[in-house]
Chain A
Amino acid sequence: MEASLEERILLYPELSLDDQLAIESFVAAHPEYEGVLEDVKAIGAFLEQASRFWGDVADDDVLVHYALARYMYDDAPPEHLREPLRRLEDALSRDPGRLARLERFVTRIETADRQSDALAQFEQLTGHRLTDYPKGGMPLHLDMAYFVGKIRLVLGNVSGARRAFQTVAERNGAHASEARRILAELDRSKTR
């Protein structure tokens, strides 16, 4: 595929309606490009959906998700929610009229959750005892990848450490930001 043509298809969600129609016509005549366009559309739709929660527009759908996240995590949201929540809170602080709406959602979530005891329902449905579960913490192997990276660094195995930290960063779980910071430091020391 020509570079310029591939680039145009990849930029499909960014194009004007006329240009999008031109791409559609082209792909209709060249079905070998259908897969690329389908992928690009799916990614475009995902980006549009996901970024709604990072924007300045606090419509009801965004507000109710915000209320649920705050209900679930209170002041300690997981890392992946911190920035979108902060951005949303900034937007809300400029629009106090939305607060009443938000409070309504918080009340409804709390009312729904209080309808029954989650622990009792969980134990009744699953037959498990919650006391059999250790409380909190990421799975051992996620933490292990991070600590393996640290140990390799101490032992001077930089390429091995880099692989371990990349795994941690890629999973975006516990220690992901710390792993990225170490990787950036390794990159910097490499270029020195």
Chain B
Amino acid sequence: MFVYKSPDILFFLPISTLMSIGSEWHGIRDVAAHLPFELDDTEEANRAFQRWRKSHRAKEKRIVDLWTYCFVRRYFVLKFAQEDGFRLSDLDDLIARTYRKIDTYVDTVKSPGRYAHWVSKVCKNTFLNHTRTHRYVVPLQPDGPELVAEPVSTFTSSDFGILSRELSAAIGRLPEFLQAVARMRFIEHRSYEEIGRATGKSLPVIRSYTSKIAARFRRDRHLRAFLDPTAETSPRTPPND
């Protein structure tokens, strides 16, 4: 059994201290621990949503609601950590507003198989709209005048867990003889020459393997479903507030 071992670097981090403070308060981790699947598992979230759409059973709805709440909360916690201009006092309201918006408009989801994408889109739109309409105030000095700062401009759509999960799964679905080359090329960014030396294969073979990997990825229905921009080209996301 694989046991994850933290390297020494973690001893420098205050996480263990932070996690042990207070027993009454519950963080996102405590709530997400009740999910029956990983928060990053968008495929399973989509399936849960599809099951609820079909059955309208309260049990399925509870799972969808739990995943949705955890996704929304994690999204805005991350945004706050990323963006200096994001006011802490806005955080709770944004989480609540986004969740309610999703709950109100959930019946308009056209592609239940892409529910997770739709939720992500609602989060992004709500956040972008918030940054446009709220001009962040940055104090120049503690008691001094205040400057109105530019709204945060950087917005990355990347999500560490979800993307890592998809990449790892896509490589895992390749035939075994291609997996090592895929990892070296697309994860470790090694050159053809380096891969050739590591595998003992000639450059034309490595090039041919890379082409085969690209062709396999293109035919991979899971990856296509994850990337397909046409499945819900214009998600019917709720109107901006």
Contact = CB atoms under 8 A, between A and B. Distances in A.
A112 B81 contact: yes
Interface of A: 6-7, 10-11, 14, 36, 39-40, 42-43, 46-47, 49-55, 60-62, 64-84, 86, 89-90, 92-93, 99, 102-103, 105-122, 125-126, 128, 130, 132-139, 142, 169-173, 176-177, 180, 184, 187
A159 to B, nearest CB: 18
Interface residues of B, number: 87
Contacts of A54: 164, 167, 187-188
Nearest to B227: A42
B139 interface: no
Nearest to A48: B186
11 contacts: A54-B187, A64-B82, A74-B19, A82-B4, A103-B13, A106-B18, A114-B27, A126-B99, A130-B31, A139-B36, A187-B176
B34 A136 contact: yes
B80 interface: yes
A173 B211 contact: no
Contacts, number: 242
B73 A7 contact: no
Contact of A118 (B73, B78, B223, B224): B73
B27 A39 contact: no
B41 interface: yes
A70 B226 CA distance: 25
Interface in B149-197: 156, 158-161, 163-169, 172-173, 176, 186-189
B66 A11 contact: no
